[in-house]
Structure 1
Amino acid sequence: MGAFELEHLKQFTLTRVLNDDTVFKSISLLGKLPSSNPDSEPVQSIVSLQKTAFDPNNASSIIPTISKIQLTEVNDIYAWMLGWIRSADGTYLDADVKISVISPATDVHIRKYSSQKHAMISETPKLYEKVTKPFIDAFPKSRTQWVQNILDHITETEDILFEDPSPIHGFVLLPDMKWDRKSLGSLYLLAIARSALIRSLRDLRKEHVPMLERIRQEATRVASEKWGVPKGGLRFYIHYQPSYYQFHVHIVSVEYSGFQGMSVGQAHLLEDAISLLELDDGGPTGIFERMTLTYILGEQHGLYTPMVDAGAEI
């Protein structure tokens, strides 16, 4: 993806609204943006906008026009930036909109960002082996290229807060792009495991407890030293199903309550996962591989139809 400027973003042509979330004050738009290759046709793209908190002291001077952007990061097909709305006297206030771009966007991205109905799925070990594991095995590597870029120090290198280089139990810790890097109440970090063999919660074994404990330890230390976050000020959780299959841990401020991904039915507390693994007998199959896991699945998710066809309990 080429360099982003305001004029490039303004060339976005809308195809349709994918989702309008009034609770989280966000909207996802499907359309087209110019290709980085000037000889190519515009490429299908998704632009998501989410309002940041307004300063009530400046509310009367804000007009609904983005007149400046600041690129935060570009990684593979993803880009994140901050947008400004010019005040009546021509000055710039703090950025009041977070913008993320996926360009080119695949059909999988479109389904993910579209409004959809959801169902609770009870995934037994048998269903995992029959439906979910083959789905994960077929997951395109291109969907996690941005993760590999981070692990290989191609992108976001300057953002890495801590790194354990071990190929087996190592991980990197860095800010999540959902965070504006300013508001401590919405602090959001991400720890990504280096091992490609740990793809989801199901792959965790008792041997991974030291890695999980170190993720908790180092994230707590970094958040305290860098931002003054007190002990007990972070929430650690693991998604199942995750949006991509390279094991990772979400780390957010306990004050952060505006993210749907923290809901029961998707988020599993890291501390609970560690406790279960410590109780495991260390046999050939891990405790999470033997459990029935119940979670929320959208009808646009690639697992939804196979699960229904396989007779999953909904």
Structure 2
Amino acid sequence: MSHPAAPTSLEKLNKFSFERVLNEDPLTHSLTLLGAFPGPAADRVQAIVRIEKTALDPDRGGSFFGDNGLVKRVTLEESTDIYTWLFGWLPEERERDVKINVICPATEVHVHKYTKQELVMVRETPELYERIVKPYISAFPSARTQWVENILLGHSEQSKVLFSSPEFLILPDMKWDLTTTSSLYLVALVQDRSVRSIRDLRRTHIPLLSAIRREAERIVKEKWGLGKGTLRMYIHYQPSYYQFHVHIVNANQAGMMSMAVGQAHLLDDIISLLEIEPDEGPGIFERMTLTYGLGDQHGLFKAMHTASA
């Protein structure tokens, strides 16, 4: 069930009151805007709108040039909890041109997350994890992962699910246009709520991680004809939300900051590390020092930057 202020049509999108640009990314051809939509009463509901150019189809190479205009038509892709995803057209006769992601209502936490950030590299020792990061994860508001919970419980996006088992689901990520295989982007959501990040992984999770890898390879082979070795599967640390998930993208996809060293850990490498974990004693991810980039708007930034100085 979407929020009453969620813009599920072009008419509602046109009521967006622009406040400022939060971020501009020439690499992904995207703009992230802060503003508001009319609320159910006379109030305004703060919102973030991210406009992203969809992948260009090489088969339509001769049709990209011509008169450009503003968005003329949109279709609703999905609206669940505070998130809404739409596709937009410029001239209506073209392929859909832009993907529009909306967060409404957007909290100040969302505003910080989507504001352009300066990164610093921090070294998270097991001691810092226990003292700073683990309490932060435990206090992470459940409202920020309600959209994930809705999917896991079968309340939303069920028509998109490509694989379902008691352990995990695989479905397209909201960043993918669902059409262009060169930019294929799927996500595996794990049902076990006790696994929040790679810090919680143990040797006993190898069958789960191996099953995700196996099913992802099977799905892309059967649906899109992509053979072995065509996928890059990875896990973020720190992740954007603390419900364990695996990113599954076309191995030839380039330029995604989320695949950078210091955030993305290859699923194959994680499985290999767990395979050499001792049967007794602390797990390997309990004992490791993890180095990663942290944005200056992140909730952990001040404490971790100070501790790492």
User: Scaled by the length of structure 1, what TM-score is found?
Assistant: 0.94
Deviates more, 1:63-72 or 1:211-220: 63-72
- Supply the AA of the counterpart residue of 1:181: L
Aligned partners of 1:162, 1:11: CA distance in 2, in Å? 38
The aligned residue for residue 242 of structure 1 is 239
Structure 1 contact 82–97 (Cα < 8 Å) conserved: yes
- The 5 A counterparts of 1:164-243 are 164-165=165-166, 170-243=167-240
Give the alignment partner of residue 274 of structure 2, picking from 273, 277, 294.
277
Aligned partners of 2:42, 2:291: CA distance in 1, in Å? 45
Q: Structure 1 residues 282 and 62 mapped into 2: Cα distance closer, same or farther (>3 Å)?
A: farther
Specify the SS of the correspondent of 1:61. coil
The aligned residue for residue 251 of structure 1 is 248
Structure 1 contact 280–287 (Cα < 8 Å) conserved: yes
Please tell me whether residue 266 in structure 1 is matched to residue 270 in structure 2. Answer: no
Specify the SS of the correspondent of 2:171. strand
How far is 1:181 from its partner?
Answer: 0.4
The aligned residue for residue 4 of structure 1 is 8
Q: Cα deviations across residues 177-231 of structure 1 (Å, max 9, x unaligned)? A: 1000011000000001101100000000000000000000001101110111111
Aligned partners of 1:137, 1:274: CA distance in 2, in Å? 25
- Give ranges in structure 2 of 5+ residues lacking alignment: none
Please tell me whether residue 60 in structure 1 is matched to residue 61 in structure 2. Answer: no
How far is 1:40 from its partner?
Answer: 4.2
Aligned partners of 1:126, 1:186: CA distance in 2, in Å? 39
How far is 1:75 from its partner?
Answer: 1.7
The aligned residue for residue 50 of structure 1 is 52
- Supply the AA of the counterpart residue of 1:112: K
Specify the SS of the correspondent of 2:192. coil
The aligned residue for residue 101 of structure 2 is 100
- Supply the AA of the counterpart residue of 2:93: Y
Aligned partners of 1:245, 1:284: CA distance in 2, in Å? 25
Q: Structure 1 residues 161 and 53 mapped into 2: Cα distance closer, same or farther (>3 Å)?
A: closer
Aligned partners of 1:236, 1:32: CA distance in 2, in Å? 36
The aligned residue for residue 23 of structure 2 is 19
- Supply the AA of the counterpart residue of 1:187: L
Specify the SS of the correspondent of 2:48. strand
The aligned residue for residue 35 of structure 2 is 31
Aligned partners of 1:53, 1:271: CA distance in 2, in Å? 27
% same residue: 50
Please tell me whether residue 139 in structure 1 is matched to residue 140 in structure 2. Answer: yes
Please tell me whether residue 82 in structure 1 is matched to residue 83 in structure 2. Answer: no
Give the alignment partner of residue 41 of structure 1, picking from 40, 43, 51.
43
The aligned residue for residue 127 of structure 1 is 128
- Supply the AA of the counterpart residue of 1:162: F
- Supply the AA of the counterpart residue of 1:248: H
- Supply the AA of the counterpart residue of 1:20: E
Specify the SS of the correspondent of 2:70. strand
Q: Cα deviations across residues 117-139 of structure 1 (Å, max 9, x unaligned)? A: 11011000000001000000100
Aligned partners of 1:60, 1:237: CA distance in 2, in Å? 36
Aligned partners of 2:274, 2:55: CA distance in 1, in Å? 40
Count of aligned residue pairs for this structure pair = 302
Give the alignment partner of residue 308 of structure 2, picking from 276, 299, 312.
312
The aligned residue for residue 77 of structure 2 is 72
Aligned partners of 2:46, 2:276: CA distance in 1, in Å? 48
Aligned partners of 2:259, 2:9: CA distance in 1, in Å? 33
Aligned partners of 1:199, 1:306: CA distance in 2, in Å? 20
Structure 2 contact 55–183 (Cα < 8 Å) conserved: no
